[in-house]
Amino acid sequence: MDCRVVVEAAVPVYDVETPDEAVRIAISKTGEMLNPDLNYVEIEMGERSCPHCGEHLETAFIAADEGLVALELEMTVFNVEREEHASRIARKEIGQCLENIPLEVLEVEIIEDDADGRDDEESSSDESSDADAEDADDPSRTDDEPADEREASGDDEVLPEFEDLIE
């Protein structure tokens, strides 16, 4: 089973004046800490709301030119047994790169890949049958040479001209 895990990180930033500046610096700082080891982790602004009234809050909290920014880090974890296992792996992987930054798992979503795998096989078989149909309509095709051999050699037009030059 594969899972998509979203982890919230509280990233501290220093010497900032506006929430927008704090968010930009936090994303940059987090990206530097994650790369190149975890370059597959997606970094986005977190969404905050008041726990009592549900009102939307700023992503960054600033006091005395220092800020705390909520970021959402998303990664896909492959071949896990349970959702809890996926969340542990994500926290461990991300936490190793982001030292002294608190993390909390927000969401674990199971990725269904069985249907996608079948669609890819069906589309590739459809493409090959379309190519076979085009070969059947091709007037330059000779019956004694299979279409696969002509495509593999790639010399079906060049070779006869070369033989004509030799004669």
Q: What are phi and psi of 103, to 5 degrees?
A: -125, 145
Domain span(s) for CATH 3.30.70 in the chain: 2-111
Contact 29, 13 (CB under 8 A): yes
Q: pTM for the whole thing?
A: 0.64
Does domain 2-111 fall into CATH 3.30.70? yes
Average of pLDDT values for 15-23?
Answer: 93
Which pair of structure tokens corresponds to residue 71? 């970021």
Could you give the C-alpha distances from 34 to 92, 95, 139, in angstroms and in order? Answer: 13, 10, 57
**102-146 confidence digits (pLDDT tens):** 999 999 999 986 544 444 444 344 444 444 444 444 444 444 544
